[in-house]
Amino acid sequence: MHYDDNLTAARPSFVTHLECSETGEAYQADQIHGLSRAGKPLLVRYDLDGVRGALTKDILADRPRDLWRWRELLPVRDAANIVSLGGAETPLIPLPRLGARHGAAAPIAKDEGRLPTGSFKARGLVMAVSMAKALGITRIAMPTNGNAGAALAAYCAAAGIEAFVFCPDDTPEVNVREIALQGAKVWRVNGLIGDCGAIVGAGKEPMGWFDLSTLKEPYRIEGKKTMGLELLEQLDWQVPDAIFYPTGGGTGLIGMWKAFTELEALGFIGSERPRMIAVQASGCAPIVRAWEAGERHAAKWEDAHTVAAGIRVPAAIGDFLILDAVRDSGGLAMAVDDADIIAARDRIAAEDGLLLCPEGAATAVAWEQAVDQGLVGRQDRCVLFNCATGLKYPMPAADAWLDRHQPADWAAIAAA
């Protein structure tokens, strides 16, 4: 099979319609949609019996290992509309020293930092931009905490679509610069992501752009669900005991939960599910607060702050979908402190060799606390999602230097 067959081969499409995630109302496929009439996210539905007849585990195993290998379970009907910058399968990396610290089996990191633009946002945005191309959309805008904007800029550049991006003024500099370098028009805004989203909403009529904010269109979920599809295949269709997921807007958690339902319908897995553990920062934890209070919707979090910018989302439009998945799986929602996030990032980099982003480090802290508190078993197979490369974030200074004209102080070098 040729390396690009997933991108070029004609394969059947099984999309039937879109469905309101709250009311179940059906919407016609192949038309431009934002939110449902109820103001809730739309979900893509498939003829899963048809998919079952066309896609087997053996067929899947013979395909190139990228996210487009799941074409029968994705919304892009015509291969000509696929926009790709690679998108290879991301690795599973055991963290044995982290496990040993807690007398537990090594947790497994799924390192999404290997994707184009260095984060898991590539999964959602490649699908959304490909569908925008298919639907004839030529101008897109979105708010971002950084990585989503970078992915949007890259894929819009590849698709020839004009992109406008608005980000909080404390967004990591590398994100702002890569957004600009990849052709999008980017502005810093003196506020949080919700304030940026308000600007996008206000500009829809005068600017004529499509609002690609998290869950305000149907297709980012479909891209993000490939994390769940891919993970279970990598685990030989054995469902892990728990998935620790850094949760801001929650698209990936929602998408994975949808993926598991579809895989069961295909007969690839049974009814078993991993416990879904939503991880937030203590400075912005609306989902945790709602979960603890037994609420289905999460009130906006005021004065949101955390070093993990990707999960600094004070209000998530898909809050009820996140909380439903957490509860239905017997999972939980956890908040962790910034100081612990940074300490875990530094320690895991030095001991296990994997440089996590702050959001990924948050899942490691949550796993440590969950193990120590008996919330997960010490021998449970647990997956931690590292959602971006740690190379995009500020790192501690490393200021040691030597004067080559002076004798080396070997004892000092050894003790450093």
State the Cα–Cα distance between residues 370 and 374, nearest whole angstrom: 6
User: In percent, how much of the chain has pLDDT > 70?
Assistant: 100
Tell me which amino acid residue 26 is.
A
Long-range contacts made by residues 155-158, C-beta under 8 angstroms, separation at least 24?
155/83, 155/85, 155/122, 155/125, 155/126, 155/129, 155/130, 156/129, 156/183, 156/184, 157/182, 157/183, 157/184, 158/83, 158/84, 158/85, 158/129
pLDDT average, residue stretch 25-45: 97
Packed helices 147-159 and 121-134: angle between N→C axes, nearest 10 degrees: 30
pLDDT in tens, 157-191: 999 999 999 999 999 899 999 999 999 999 999 99
How high does pLDDT run on average in the chain? 96
Q: How much is the pLDDT for 307? A: 95
pLDDT in tens, 344-389: 999 999 999 999 999 999 999 999 999 999 999 999 999 999 999 9
Tell me which amino acid residue 199 is.
I
pLDDT in tens, 204-241: 999 999 999 999 999 999 999 999 999 999 999 999 99
Claim: this prediction has a pTM higher than 0.85: yes
CB 63 within 8 A of CB 57: no
CB 172 within 8 A of CB 392: yes
Whether 57 has a pLDDT exceeding 90, the answer reads: yes
User: In percent, how much of the chain has pLDDT > 90?
Assistant: 97
**Through-space distance between the first and last CA atoms of the chain, rounded to whole angstroms:** 52
Whether 1 has a pLDDT exceeding 70, the answer reads: no
pLDDT in tens, 75-89: 999 999 999 999 899
**Best CA proximity match to 345, nearest among 304, 313, 310, 391:** 391
Structural domains in the chain, CATH included, are: 5-81 (no CATH), 92-114+225-392 (3.40.50.1100), 121-211 (3.40.50.1100)
Q: How much is the pLDDT for 3? A: 87
